[in-house]
């Protein structure tokens, strides 16, 4: 067995409950440090700190809620429009061959953050799954998160 050391993950694993909601926290403090690309009156767009692929972002309502069904209609419309525009901005900036878009509602559905609903938008390229992910269960990210943030920030200038 090979051991892959990732000591930086311990901060994420050890005090996940103490940190509170990552989406609510993203709206406080330094935007770049929090990886917040921006907000609308009802939504926010943030890069995933633990991405599946380079450029993996999340679109969430500003309201702290786990229920899509209970989101007031104007906030749902804002969220849907923010998702639509985020897909366009990400596609223009990164030119992926495709995108995975999904929402997991509840722990049983695979939600890592169960109390604040959010969409995942993951750019994909032909051949981006290689032996590292398929055999070794390791992802190789070709760009640092802050470089990705800097590259995407201009594409999301329509956000506040």
Active site residues: 118
CA distance linking residue 76 with residue 17, whole number of Å? 27
Q: Are the beta carbons of 152 and 90 closer than 8 angstroms?
A: yes
Residue from 118, 80, 125, 127 nearest 99 by CA: 125
Planar angle of CA 39, 42, 43, nearest 5 degrees: 45
CA distances from 154 to 35, 151, 159 (A): 13, 7, 10
Residue 39: DSSP 8-state: E
């Amino acid at each position: 067995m090979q051991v892959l050391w990732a000591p930086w993950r311990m901060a994420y694993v050890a005090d996940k409950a103490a940190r509170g909601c990552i989406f609510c926290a993203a709206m406080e403090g330094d935007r770049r440090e929090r990886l917040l690309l921006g907000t609308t009156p009802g939504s926010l767009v943030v890069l995933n700190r633990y991405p599946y692929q380079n450029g993996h972002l999340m679109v969430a309502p500003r309201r702290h809620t786990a229920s899509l069904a209970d989101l007031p209609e104007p906030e749902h419309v804002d969220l849907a429009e923010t998702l639509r525009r985020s897909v366009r901005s990400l596609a223009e900036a990164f030119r992926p061959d495709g995108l995975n878009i999904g929402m997991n509602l509840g722990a049983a559905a695979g939600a890592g953050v169960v109390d604040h609903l959010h969409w995942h938008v993951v750019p994909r390229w032909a051949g981006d799954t290689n032996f590292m992910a398929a055999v070794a269960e390791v992802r190789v990210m070709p760009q640092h998160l802050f470089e990705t943030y800097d590259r995407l920030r201009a594409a999301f200038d329509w956000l506040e």
